Amino acid sequence: MSTALATVNRGLFRGLNLRQKTLMIIGSTSLLLLAIVVSSVYLGGEPLQTNFGSKNLAPSLEHPFGTDWMGRDMFARTLEGLGLSILVGGLASTISTILTIFLGLLSSTGKTADSFVSWLVDLFLSIPHLLLIILISIGMGGGAKGVVIGVALTHWPSLTRVVRAEIKQLKTQEYIHISRNLGRSKIWIATKHILPHLVPQILLGTILMFPHAILHEASVTFLGFGLSPHEPAIGIILSESMRYLSAGYWWLAFFPGLSLLIVVLAFDLIGENLGKLMNPKNAHE
Amino acid sequence: MLNNGKIAGFIGKKTLRLVSLLIVVCFASFMLIQSSPIDPVRAYIGEMPVTAEHKAKLEEYWGVNTPPQEKFLNWAGDIVKGDFGTSLIYRTPVIDVIKERFTASLVLMGVSWLFAGILGFVLGIVAGMKQGTWVDKAIKTYCYALAAAPTFWLALVLLMVFSVYLGWFPIGLSVPIGVTADNVTFFDWFKRLILPALTLSLLDVAKITMFTREKLIEVLSSDYVLFAKARGEKGLDLVLRHGIRNVALPAITLQFLGFSELFGGTVLVEQVFSYPGIGQAAVAAGLRSDVPLLLGIVIFSTLFVFFGNLIADIIYEFVDPRIRQQEASI
């Protein structure tokens, strides 16, 4: 019943089939994110110059997100902040993924290694996530380095869990047994037989890790442990806006946060639609 | 089949796990803080001018020049005796600060946890029942949007709407100005709890709703529901009789497993609403290099997460072993 409901083709893009629609969603959201990153890199500092003649302006056509107390255009600041967030999130999730691949393959080589990996996963999940990031970022001396390492070191456990379960299931397969009987080493089996099967899982996991990493980076920066106040990060913008809250400058907090929400949603959308393409069995849900 | 042997084994295993976990967490967090460029003497004296002589004395007192292993053993020895040291910013024993702050946070977390659980469950059931209709789509959209919303931003927006514009709630501080903490009426205190609790639960709702929805759809497409339908059961009755019974326990378990995220959310929400809880203390301790307090909070929050997981494990192990089998098969 539910499948019949989902495949009825209606709406604006009824000329396209489901696969084309999925590809279109992925393409357009990726383009949006790419545009944000590129424009934040090439924007330069010009709109961020202070201009006391136009401070604390409400949103208008000229300044769609309003201006702050130094007359800087909030739209430009938000764009810069989003670009920075995406870059930091991207860097941190890449490191996390490399850790996941390494630990996942390590767990496939033997029983002791496997219990070590599962112990490590449990250890990292036992301290509240945000507190652990704060702790690591303090330990690394704070700043951009601290927050990247903090976010990178704390996002691998959940993906590693998934990968470990997948590996466990793969290891019961016939071809692995045969390969072992043929005298292949554990490392050879891990890299040649198991790794290729994990690629879709890991790719998807990385993309779905992005939004978490971005949100955590923004949270930690908001609390004051992450990027320095000179950077145009979203967390900094929002924590500054708290001081102007009672003055009624609502746009200082509202638009930057909303843009962050949209970026996070875009990553979720890409991840989910890619999942549909890679794993067509569950696509009808 | 509950037998004493199994229970004893379970308790033994969990105790061992807790002890080993605490040792590793203590060691790792201590070493992390050690490696950071925090100067305990600077943190203690703050901006006060001191003589070099006095400074040397303080350095000796704080053990700046003792090797880290020795420092760790000293600290761990004190912890085992129940002495967590003295907080540098509150100038009172760490254990007292944590007791007071954690109680305040537990109230906040408890209220939002319960509210989120109930609301999420009901929404999930409704969405699952009406799968594919606009009600389902609206609930799903709401969940997706909330799952992507930054906690502190939602807190800021609610603060702007309800405190600044409507003026229904105070902007900050959990105690009204000019009133000591002992004289706060229940109503005053309750009024200040509403917004933080609301923020926290609104965010928590998304996860439990999506989970309940998926589970209910799964149950509703099972053979025994088909049979029940064939017997003439339908509508709400069917869901109440077959759906909720099967969905409730996994959903409750999931709520217990979410303690870690709940704590993280509390830290952010407390910061925005300046609610005097453990999260705010943790941030203050981190920003102002109050090492004893920070380490104490790490230990207690680890315990908090551990007990959440423990309750989930008890549900797995003794109340409904099927959940464990399902997890294992995934």
pLDDT in tens, A60-94: 666 667 776 666 777 878 888 888 888 888 888 88
What confidence tier does B150 reach under pLDDT thresholds 50, 70, 90? confident
Bridge partner list, A67: A73
CA distances B17 to A120, B104, B256, Å, are 13, 28, 18
Is the Cβ–Cβ distance between A166 and A194 less than 8 Å? Answer: no
Whether A213 has its CB under 8 Å from any CB of chain B: the answer is no
Predicted pLDDT at A49: 65
**Three-state secondary-structure class, residue B320:** coil
Domains of chain B from N-terminus onward: 4-80 (no CATH), 94-329 (1.10.3720.10)
* pLDDT, average across residues A117-144: 85
The answer, for A211 touching chain B at a CB cutoff of 8 Å, is yes
Facing residue for B36 by CB, picked from A141, A219, A258 = A141
Percent of chain A with pLDDT over 90: 1
Q: How confident is the model at residue B323 (pLDDT cuts 50, 70, 90)?
A: low
Q: Contacts of residue B151 in chain A, CB cutoff 8 Å?
A: 219
ipTM > 0.85 for the complex:
no
- The pLDDT tens digits for A150-171 are 888 888 888 888 888 888 888 8
Q: A103 near A117, Cβ under 8 Å?
A: yes
Higher per-residue confidence, B51 vs B18: B18
CB contact under 8 A, B164 and A248: yes
Higher pLDDT, B310 or B56: B310
- Cross-chain residue pair B145–A261, CB shorter than 8 Å: yes
Which member of A126, A234, A241 has the closest CB to residue B305?
A126
The single-letter code of the amino acid at B142 is Y
Cα of B272 vs its chain's centroid, Å: 16
Contacts of B306 in chain A (CB under 8 A): 126
A255-274 average pLDDT score: 85
Instruction: Return the pLDDT at A1.
Output: 39
Q: With beta carbons under 8 A apart, name residues in chain B contacting A131.
A: 263-264, 267, 282, 297-298, 301
Q: Residue B286 and residue A245: Cβ atoms within 8 Å?
A: no
CB contact under 8 A, B298 and A224: no
Chain B residues touching A141 at Cβ < 8 A? 36-37
Report chain A residues whose CB lies below 8 A from the CB of B152.
218-219, 222, 238
**What is chain A written as a DSSP string?**
-HHHHHH---STTTTS-HHHHHHHHHHHHHHHHHHHHHHHHHS-SGGGS--GGGTTPPP-SSSTT-B-TT--BHHHHHHHHHHHHHHHHHHHHHHHHHHHHHHHHHHHS-HHHHHHHHHHHHHHHHS-HHHHHHHHHHHTTSHHHHHHHHHHHHSHHHHHHHHHHHHHHHTTSHHHHHHHHTT--HHHHIIIIIHHHHHHHHHHHHHHHHHHHHHHHHHHHHHTSSS-TTS--HHHHHHHHGGGTTTT-THHHHHHHHHHHHHHHHHHHHHHHHHHHH-GGGTT-
Asked if residues A139 and B32 have their Cβ atoms less than 8 Å apart, the reply is yes
- CA distance to A107, A252, B271, per residue, from A147 (Å): 28, 24, 19
- DSSP letter (8 states) at residue B162: I
Please give the Cα distance from A194 to A169 (Å, whole number): 10
**184-213 in B: which are within 8 Å (CB) of A?**
none
Contact map slice: B 50-69 vs A, CB within 8 A: none
Collapsing DSSP to helix, strand or coil, B305 comes out as helix
Q: Does A127 touch chain B (CB under 8 A)?
A: yes
What is the rounded CA–CA span in Å between residue B91 and residue B128? Answer: 53
Residues in Cβ contact with A223 at an 8 Å cutoff, skipping those fewer than 6 apart: A134, A235, A239, B267, B268, B271, B283, B286, B287
Q: Does A131 touch chain B (CB under 8 A)?
A: yes
**B23 contact A CB<8A:** no
Nearest-angstrom CA–CA distance, B83 and B88: 15
Token match 């290891």: residue? A171
* pLDDT score at B133: 83
> Position of tokens 């378990």?
B253
Q: Tell me how far apart the alpha carbons of residues B113 and B259 are, in angstroms, rounded to a whole number.
A: 9
**Chain A residues inside the 8 Å CB shell of B304:** 128
Asked whether the beta carbons of residue A125 and residue B260 sit closer than 8 angstroms, the reply is: yes
Chain A 67-106, residues with CB within 8 Å of chain B CB atoms: none
Minimal C-alpha gap between B301 and chain A (Å): 7
DSSP B277: S
Give CA–CA dist A189/B188, Å, rounded: 65
Do the chains contact at A131 and B148, CB–CB below 8 Å? no
Tokens of A55: 């401070």
Nearest C-alpha of chain B: how many angstroms from A126?
A: 6
- List pLDDT tens digits, range A22-63: 888 888 888 888 888 888 777 765 556 666 666 666 666 666
Q: Beta partners for B204?
A: none
Instruction: Sort out which chain B residues have CB atoms less than 8 A from A139's CB and list them.
Output: 31-33, 35-36
Residues in B touching A261 (Cβ below 8 Å): 145, 148-150, 153
B225 at interface of A, judged by CB pairs closer than 8 A: no
